Structures are given as structure tokens and as C-alpha cells.
Amino acid sequence: MELLSELAGNPERRVPSIHIAGSKGKGSVTGMIASILQADGCRPARYMSPHVSDFRERISLGNSFFDEAVYCAAGEELRELAESAVPAAKSDLFDPAREDGEEPTFFELLTLLFFLCARHAACDVLVVETGMGGRLDSTNVLDPLVSVITLIELEHTGFLGNTITAVAGEKAGIIKPGKPLVLARQGGEGWSPDEVCPPGGVLDVFKKAAAEKHSPLIYFPETAELRILKIHTGGTDFSLRFKKDAFPAGLDGGAAPLELSISMPGAIQAENAGLAITALKTAFPHTGEEAIRRGLADFHIPARFETLSRDPPVIIDGAHTPESAALCVSTFCSLYGGGGVLLFGCAADKNAAGMAEVLLPHFSRIFITTPGSFKTSDPGRVYEAFTAVLAAQGGPAGVTLVRETAEAVRHALDWGRQRGLPVLGAGSFYLASEIRAFYGKG
């Protein structure tokens, strides 16, 4: 990736950047930062994954897509680079004793396409979400003003390690020497009792990594006070106050609380907003309160507790870990009560049994299906996980396997509509995309 960027003239170094990693909420934090910057008069290039309904969601100008001419010009530059410069430079890519001539991956080329789009569109700041992990992620060619790490969970164990502290170590790889790290609260689901360190050990991983790189650590729970005022079907209203003397010198700790609103319901989204504001106040201390309010109010992102219908309520959420599923169902039940309908599908590498334990007690009917075709999945194994939990826990839920995704969507929505029950679609962003398409939002 470093060579690819060099061949393109290092477009990632042309303007300042903010780099975001984590297991839960990094897409929301990335989008909120870009939206606030846009409201403050900047031209932020935003890089996120996966997309839900439109591939351009991954590479965008703040809350909107780039002009088609930008994608075309950047794509043409990338094509020329891939066809001429990359083959010519193959001998320099790797030590001949190793894997000389390895081709760039899809995500490496996509990341470079983002950098090229940002350059063609004359963007003045990059807001970049990692794809997976951090240390070896293609986006880690950045030298950002600030690194941001959201809540860590046990995920992608085949690549990132089979303990939560190992996962944290990979995420910590985005911390840059001398540059601040803004860190979300840590601890929760995903910790294995076989680990030497308890959940608090995750924080120790980041403290050690930051100290080794002489990077100031701004730990959100020690920096800000967040009060959830109201969670409602239209979003979340909350206040955020920075604690006195908790921020580095020059930032406005101890000032009056910010009274804020976001269009997404849930305490976790208020935390994401608080983390985004903290990162912005670290990178750009003069970010105004009005820009923060307007940026959060303008921010919308698909499949993050998104309402598709209100009669009966149909909600989709990309929650695909036990922790995110717990947060999602907590918000869902607080707004609509228990006993609703769950449409669930997840990729083969996800903790289906852990999510079943969290979700199953709250629904009267559950439909298990294939979460689209983009990633490998095994809906039969997911169905077995849910029925095993049902057998062990008991409860009112009936579990049905409907392998064909569109058919499962119809079954779940019909079941809810006929009985006046709320419907939640969860487990995968790809499943959320299928449900959105059913409502003509593809």
C-alpha cells in the first residue's frame, strides 16, 4: 500500500486526516466527524465500509456523493496506474526471496481510489475508517492529526487474534508517534475467561501503546460527561460536557454542556457523537458549537437503527456482534416493547450463538435467513445456534429457517403486519441492504 501511494504521488499526505478504528460504532463516528466538518465549511472526503445500498457510500464528500466526473477521473487514474506503473514496479514490491510480484488487493486499490477522489475533488481533510483491524490495514498509510478507536470486541479472530487483548493490539496499530489517541470506553462482551487480562486489560493495551509512541491518550469516560436526556423514535437528545482539566491545554474543558440531538435512537449513538466531537476538538480546537449541532442534525447513515416503516414499526440495524446486538435490542425494546419479530442473518465468521443468547428472549417469532450473497454464510448453522439457545433457555420465541433472503423478508414483514408487531432486521449490513431494497431504498 505504501508503494501504491508513492506511485500515485502520496495523495493521502496532501491534506490533514483523522483515522478511525474499532469494533463497534466506527462507521457512525467517521460519518459524524465528516458531517460536522462539512457543516463547518470544510470539504471532507469520507471513507467507510461496507456500503449498504450504493457503493458510493464508501467514498463520498461528507454527507453526499462526489460528482460523477470525480469518480471517473480518479478511476481512470487508478486504471492507468494499475496497468502501467504497478507492473513496472513489481520488482520493488517485495524481496525476491518472498512473494515477488504479488498483486494489489481489492481493498488496497479501493483505498487508493478514495485518496485519488479526494485529490481530484480538492478536499481539505480526510476522514478515514479502517477496513479491518488497524496495524496492517490498507488505510494505515495515513499520518493523521488524531487517531480514534471505538469500543473493542472479539471479532475477525482468524485475522486479528483469538483474545480481545490481541484484537486491541491490532487496533492500536493506528496510533502514530506523538499524535493524540481519542479512545472510547472499553470493556464488555467478547472477553474470554481464558485470557490473562480481564476486560480492563484492553485499556492497558492502549495505554501501553500510546506511551511507547509518546502519544497523548484522551480516554472519553475521563474526558467528558454524557447524559442521555431522551431516546425516542425520532432519535436521541442528550447533553455533553467536557470535564475541567481533562483535555489537553487549549481545549474548553469545564464549559457549559452542549445540548445536542441526533436522528438515530440509542445511547450508543450518543456515545459515538461524543467521541466524534472529542476527536474534532482535538484535531480542530476551533470547531464551532453551531457546526457541531448542524452536523449531527444533518447526519444520516443507512442501517444504524434505521426506521423503514412506522405501522407496524420496521427497524434495520447492522449489529453483528453480541455487544452491538445487546445495545440494539435494548433500544428496540425500550421504544417498542418485547414480543416482536426478528429477521436475522449473519456471516459465517460471526458469533451466532452469542447473539442468539442476547436476542432470543425478546421476540415472539424469529426468522433466520441468508444475509445476501456478498459474504460466506451458513444459515443452517445459525438456525441450529438459535434453536439450541431456545432449548436451553425456553421462552416464547418460535424459530423458522427461510434460506432465500427475499422470501424471508416477506415472511417476517407479513407476520408483523398481520399481528401489529414491530419487526427488527439485524445481524448483517448485507441483510439490512436486502430489507432496504424491499422498501425501494436500494
Is the predicted pLDDT of residue 195 greater than 70, yes or no?
no
pLDDT by residue (tens digit) across 79-98? 999 888 777 766 555 454 54
Is the predicted pLDDT of residue 127 greater than 90, yes or no?
yes
Residue 250 — very low, low, confident or very high, per pLDDT cuts 50/70/90?
Answer: very low
Count of residues making up the chain = 442
Average pLDDT of 11-18? 98
Residue 181 — very low, low, confident or very high, per pLDDT cuts 50/70/90?
Answer: very high
Cα-only R_g, the chain: 22
Q: What is the dihedral of CA 317, 320, 325, 328, to 10 degrees?
A: -20
pTM: 0.91
Residue 409, Cβ neighbours under 10 Å: how many?
23
> Which residue do the cell numbers 436521541 mark?
236
300 φ, ψ (degrees, to nearest 5)? -135, 140
d(CA 312, CA 337) in angstroms, rounded, equals: 13
Average pLDDT of 242-258? 66
Average pLDDT of 145-156? 90
Residue 267 — very low, low, confident or very high, per pLDDT cuts 50/70/90?
Answer: very high
pLDDT for res 84? 85
Give domain 306-438's CATH superfamily: Mur ligase, C-terminal domain (3.90.190.20)
19-33, 199-213, 236-250: range with lowest mean pLDDT: 236-250
The overall average pLDDT reported for the chain is 90
pLDDT by residue (tens digit) across 395-435? 777 999 999 999 999 999 999 999 999 999 999 999 999 99
Is the predicted pLDDT of residue 197 greater than 80, yes or no?
no
pLDDT for res 342? 98
Cell of 302: 443507512
- 379: part of which helix (H) or strand (E)? helix 379-393
Pairing outcome for strands 181-183 and 217-219? parallel
What CATH code would you report for 2-298?
Answer: 3.40.1190.10
Residue 153 — very low, low, confident or very high, per pLDDT cuts 50/70/90?
Answer: confident
Residue 375 — very low, low, confident or very high, per pLDDT cuts 50/70/90?
Answer: confident
d(CA 209, CA 134) in angstroms, rounded, equals: 13
pLDDT by residue (tens digit) across 40-67? 999 999 999 999 999 999 999 999 999 9
pLDDT for res 196? 37
Residue 176 — very low, low, confident or very high, per pLDDT cuts 50/70/90?
Answer: very high
pLDDT for res 102? 72
pLDDT for res 154? 76
Is the predicted pLDDT of residue 322 greater than 80, yes or no?
yes
pLDDT for res 365? 96
Between these two residues, 244 and 264, which has the higher pLDDT value?
264
Domain segments of the chain as ranges? 2-298, 306-438
d(CA 225, CA 204) in angstroms, rounded, equals: 22
235 φ, ψ (degrees, to nearest 5)? 145, -150
CB 265 within 8 A of CB 294: no
pLDDT for res 254? 53
Between these two residues, 244 and 342, which has the higher pLDDT value?
342
For 130-206, list the strands marked E by DSSP. 146-149, 181-183
Average pLDDT of 186-191? 53
d(CA 417, CA 438) in angstroms, rounded, equals: 15
Coil, helix or strand for 116?
helix
